């Protein structure tokens, strides 16, 4: 009997299995295909806006995605540098060969982890508790906890033109019965859809027609623990191209051959709003003359190039014409055609914030099965599910990150509170406290949790304490040190066209001036601290007013988060609550008043009535 079985070896499954086994719980990772562990079936990048911050958060908590990406990427970039401190994020082009390999190396090094191949089609359920899994050949494997991270493999259908084929992204066998069985146990199942573009032979593209997009010329790492292991000059470039009028004509002329535009009449899945197919783009934005396409390498070790922006479910012969109409792609050879994929997921309002399901005890779910999209979204859920599985085994309270703690907190709260209509992607605009949830402070926000749950070791924790101390010291230094204005200083202000401060200001006051940054200050006076400490203090001082405002808002929400709603509350007994609100509250079963407020369809008056009811029935401490 295992402590934990993780079903699925994608990005969620890997993090979940790693967290459990790292903490020495006897863990089984079972996947339908051993070759697909940590596979990247869609785009080749890790990170990006908001998502890059999630990768840092995973690393801060003790997860592995950031480290694996750091060791294997083809290029890395800082996005949004000039747009402000809260929206900066890293994005790396992953190597689809070495990333999974490195991940497998890490997993194989864990003594408590066993990895097996097998198709899971049912669960052993006794008395609303999960006791293990049942494979397609009838084999039963027992475990105390099961984590489902099945990705797009629940009743997956590949859609191309007028064909619908029951298979997974690489043509593998999907799980045919697991989602039906979940339905039988009481889960609401929803059907989603996503798509992917063509892969092109990199040797058949005329790069002179494309615009080159190199990696950054400064070093970056996702991980707080690793030094860069690549060379700037070794990074592989990406390229840019555009659709042409001819491309648009081909698509318009063949529109009814696309699965999504009439070739198939049984489409149920709801596709992501933020990831439309090229057909969608041509139809919805008919007046646009061209659409941008990103040409991205997939690996050093094979020839596939990923054509981001060209996702389609057209038949193969139309795809040939479409690709050849692109500048630089006249003679391009398609190695793999684009397709749409439909799959089953569970409605995530059936989850608790720990990612344990409300319906079956000891059953956790993470990743695309919960309706999200993206490797990073999956990985962070896997990590949280893994951590909370171990905490449950150890009889401890689950780790629940708040919306003001992490993007991970935002993601999970959105899923369980609001539910989803289309596959969920993290966006900067979803985080109301994004000024607190920065790329640069993920370790300061989250390492302590990683340490508490046992994934961050003493040595790394000491490093964090030291960093915190140095930040404090630099702040004090800047608050007490005055800038002496001598001739040389004057000259530097003049050279940089910055007006000279009147009187003797402290460094802390100076840095608040918009035109003065830490780099300039370092040219005036010695600041005896490392660059990362300087950057941290610069942001905290420069945007202090805004940060304080955000913290105040967060505290306000925290007070409401503390007002708990008992699990056994009967919403039918509360008079005067609007019927839509009653139905939503019954569905979501919010654990706190703050969560109840965030449910769409629950109005302030309903919250008042609810608060009063709680007070009356459960006493003053609610």
Partner 1 sequence: MEDTICAIATSSGIGAISIIRISGEDAIPIANKIFKGKDLTKVPTHTINYGHIVENDKVIDEVLVSVMKSPASFTTEDVVEVNCHGGIATTNKVLELLLTNGCRLAERGEFTKRAYLNNRIDSLEAESVMDLINANTEIQRKMAINGLEGKVSNLINSLRADMVEVISNINVNIDYPEYDDVLEITNGVLSPKIKKVKEKIEEILKESENGKIIKNGINIAIIGKPNVGKSSLLNALIEEDKAIVTDIAGTTRDIVEGVTSIKGIPLNIIDTAGIRKSNDVIEEIGIKKSLEAIDKADLILFMLNNNEEITNEIIELFKKVKEKKYIVIINKTDLPTEIELSNLELEENEVIKMSIKENVGIKELKEKIIELYDLEEIENKDLVYLTNARSISILKECLNKISEVESGIENNLPIDILELDIKAIWEELGKINGTTYEEELLDEMFKRFCLGK
Smallest separation, CB 604 to partner 1 (Å): 8
Task: For partner 1, give the closer residue by CB, 483 or 609.
Answer: 609
Question: Which of left, alpha, beta for 601 (phi over 0: left; psi -120 to 50: alpha)?
Answer: left
Task: For partner 1, give the closer residue by CB, 145 or 380.
Answer: 380
Task: For partner 1, give the closer residue by CB, 292 or 480.
Answer: 292
Task: For partner 1, give the closer residue by CB, 124 or 578.
Answer: 578
Task: For partner 1, give the closer residue by CB, 452 or 553.
Answer: 553
Could you tell me which residues come within 8 angstroms of residue 198 by beta carbon, excluding any fewer than 6 positions away?
A: 307, 310, 312, 319, 323, 334, 335, 336, 337, 338
Quick one: DSSP state of residue 235?
P
Smallest separation, CB 384 to partner 1 (Å): 22
Binding residues (CB under 8 A) for partner 1: these are 42-43, 49-50, 79-80, 82-87, 196-197, 213, 272-277, 280-281, 284-285, 288, 290-292, 294, 308-309, 311, 427-430, 435, 514-515, 543, 546, 550, 556, 559-560, 575-576, 600, 603-605, 608-609, 611-612, 615-616, 620
Could you tell me which residues come within 8 angstroms of residue 439 by beta carbon, excluding any fewer than 6 positions away?
A: 52, 53, 56, 88, 89, 90
- Beta partners for 342? 157, 193
Task: For partner 1, give the closer residue by CB, 106 or 560.
Answer: 560
Tokens of 157: 């259908």
Distance CA 265, CA 358 (A): 35
Smallest separation, CB 473 to partner 1 (Å): 26
Q: Strands, E, within 172-275: which ranges? A: 189-196, 199-201, 211-213, 238-242
Q: Using CB atoms within 10 Å of the CB of residue 34, give its burial: 0 to 12 exposed, 13 to 18 middle, 19+ buried.
A: middle
Smallest separation, CB 43 to partner 1 (Å): 6
Task: For partner 1, give the closer residue by CB, 86 or 363.
Answer: 86
8 Å CB contact between 241 and 210: yes
Smallest separation, CB 570 to partner 1 (Å): 17
Long-range Cβ contacts of 76-85 (<8 Å, 24+ apart) = 76/215, 76/216, 76/220, 76/230, 76/235, 77/215, 77/216, 77/220, 78/216, 78/218, 78/220, 79/48, 79/49, 79/52, 80/49, 85/435, 85/438, 85/440, 85/539, 85/542, 85/543
Can you state the angle between helices 458-480 and 442-453, rounded to 10 degrees?
A: 150
Smallest separation, CB 605 to partner 1 (Å): 4
Task: For partner 1, give the closer residue by CB, 84 or 454.
Answer: 84
Task: For partner 1, give the closer residue by CB, 240 or 393.
Answer: 240
Pairing, β 157-160 against β 163-165? antiparallel
Smallest separation, CB 445 to partner 1 (Å): 18
Could you tell me which residues come within 8 angstroms of residue 300 by beta carbon, excluding any fewer than 6 positions away?
A: 74, 95, 97, 98, 236
Q: Strands, E, within 189-268: which ranges? A: 189-196, 199-201, 211-213, 238-242
Looking at 5-45, list the stretches that DSSP marks H as alpha helix, in order from N- to C-terminal side: 11-22
**Secondary structure of residue 275 in the 3-state scheme:** coil
Smallest separation, CB 403 to partner 1 (Å): 12
Distance CA 512, CA 527 (A): 16
Long-range Cβ contacts of 133-137 (<8 Å, 24+ apart) = 133/5, 133/7, 133/30
Task: For partner 1, give the closer residue by CB, 280 or 443.
Answer: 280
Task: For partner 1, give the closer residue by CB, 82 or 502.
Answer: 82
Smallest separation, CB 338 to partner 1 (Å): 10
CA atoms within 13 A on the CB side of 595: 29
Task: For partner 1, give the closer residue by CB, 401 or 577.
Answer: 577
Smallest separation, CB 359 to partner 1 (Å): 26
Looking at 262-339, list the stretches that DSSP marks H as alpha helix, in order from N- to C-terminal side: 278-284, 316-324
Smallest separation, CB 184 to partner 1 (Å): 32
Quick one: DSSP state of residue 482?
B
Task: For partner 1, give the closer residue by CB, 256 or 600.
Answer: 600
DSSP letters for 394-406:
TT-------TTT-
Task: For partner 1, give the closer residue by CB, 62 or 269.
Answer: 269
DSSP letters for 435-449:
TTS-STTHHHHHHHH
Smallest separation, CB 48 to partner 1 (Å): 8
Smallest separation, CB 559 to partner 1 (Å): 6
Smallest separation, CB 531 to partner 1 (Å): 20
């Amino acid at each position: 009997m295992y402590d934990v079985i993780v079903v699925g070896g994608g990005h969620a499954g890997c993090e979940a299995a790693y967290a459990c086994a790292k903490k020495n719980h006897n863990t089984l990772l079972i996947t339908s295909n051993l070759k697909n562990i940590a596979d990247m079936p869609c785009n080749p990048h890790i990170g990006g806006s908001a998502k890059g911050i999630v990768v840092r958060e995973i690393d801060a908590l003790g997860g592995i995605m950031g480290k694996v990406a750091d060791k294997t990427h083809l290029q890395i970039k800082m996005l949004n540098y000039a747009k402000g401190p809260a929206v900066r994020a890293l994005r790396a082009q992953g190597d689809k060969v070495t990333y999974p390999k490195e991940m497998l190396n890490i997993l194989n090094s864990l003594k408590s982890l066993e990895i097996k191949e097998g198709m899971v089609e049912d669960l052993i359920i006794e008395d609303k508790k999960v006791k293990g899994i049942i494979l397609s050949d009838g084999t039963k494997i027992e475990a105390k906890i099961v984590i489902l991270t099945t990705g797009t493999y629940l009743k997956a259908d590949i859609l191309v033109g007028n064909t619908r084929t029951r298979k997974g992204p690489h043509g593998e066998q999907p799980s045919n019965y697991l989602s039906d069985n979940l339905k039988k146990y009481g889960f609401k199942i929803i059907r989603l859809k996503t798509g992917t573009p063509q892969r092109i032979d990199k040797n058949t593209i005329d790069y002179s027609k494309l615009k080159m997009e190199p990696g950054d010329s400064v070093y970056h790492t996702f991980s707080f623990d690793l030094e860069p292991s690549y060379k700037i000059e070794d990074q592989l470039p990406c390229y840019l191209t555009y659709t042409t009028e001819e491309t648009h004509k081909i698509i318009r002329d063949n529109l009814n051959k696309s699965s999504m535009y009439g070739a198939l009449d049984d489409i149920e899945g709801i596709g992501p709003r933020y990831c439309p197919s090229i057909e969608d783009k041509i139809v919805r934005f008919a007046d646009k003359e061209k659409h941008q396409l990103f040409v991205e390498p997939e690996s050093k070790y094979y020839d596939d190039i990923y054509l981001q922006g060209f996702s389609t479910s057209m038949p193969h012969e139309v795809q040939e014409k479409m690709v050849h109409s692109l500048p630089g792609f006249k003679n391009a050879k398609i190695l793999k055609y684009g397709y749409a994929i439909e799959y089953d997921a569970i409605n995530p309002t059936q989850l608790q914030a720990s990612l344990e399901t409300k319906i079956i005890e000891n059953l956790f779910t993470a990743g695309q099965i919960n309706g999200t999209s993206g490797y990073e979204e999956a990985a962070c859920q896997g990590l949280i599910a893994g951590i909370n599985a171990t905490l449950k085994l150890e009889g401890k309270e689950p780790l629940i990150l708040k919306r003001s703690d992490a993007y991970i907190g935002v993601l999970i709260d959105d899923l369980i509170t609001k539910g989803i209509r289309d596959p969920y992607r993290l966006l900067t605009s979803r985080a109301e406290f994004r000024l607190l949830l920065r790329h640069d402070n993920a370790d300061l926000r989250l390492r302590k949790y990683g340490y508490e749950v046992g994934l961050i070791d003493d040595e790394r924790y000491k490093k964090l304490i030291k960093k915190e101390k140095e930040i404090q010291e630099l702040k004090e230094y800047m608050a007490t040190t005055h800038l002496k204005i001598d001739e040389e200083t004057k000259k530097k202000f003049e050279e940089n066209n910055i007006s000279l401060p009147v009187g003797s200001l402290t460094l802390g006051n100076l840095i608040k001036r918009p035109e003065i940054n830490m780099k300039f200050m370092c040219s005036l006076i010695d600041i005896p601290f490392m660059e990362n400490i300087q950057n941290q203090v610069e942001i905290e001082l420069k945007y202090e007013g805004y940060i304080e405002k955000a913290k105040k808002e967060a505290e306000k929400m925290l007070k409401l988060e503390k007002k708990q709603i008992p699990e056994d509350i009967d919403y039918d007994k509360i008079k005067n609550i609007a019927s839509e609100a009653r139905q939503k509250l019954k569905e979501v079963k919010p654990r706190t008043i703050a969560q109840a407020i965030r449910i769409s369809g629950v109005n302030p008056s309903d919250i008042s009535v609810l608060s009063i009811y709680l007070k009356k029935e459960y006493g003053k401490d609610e």
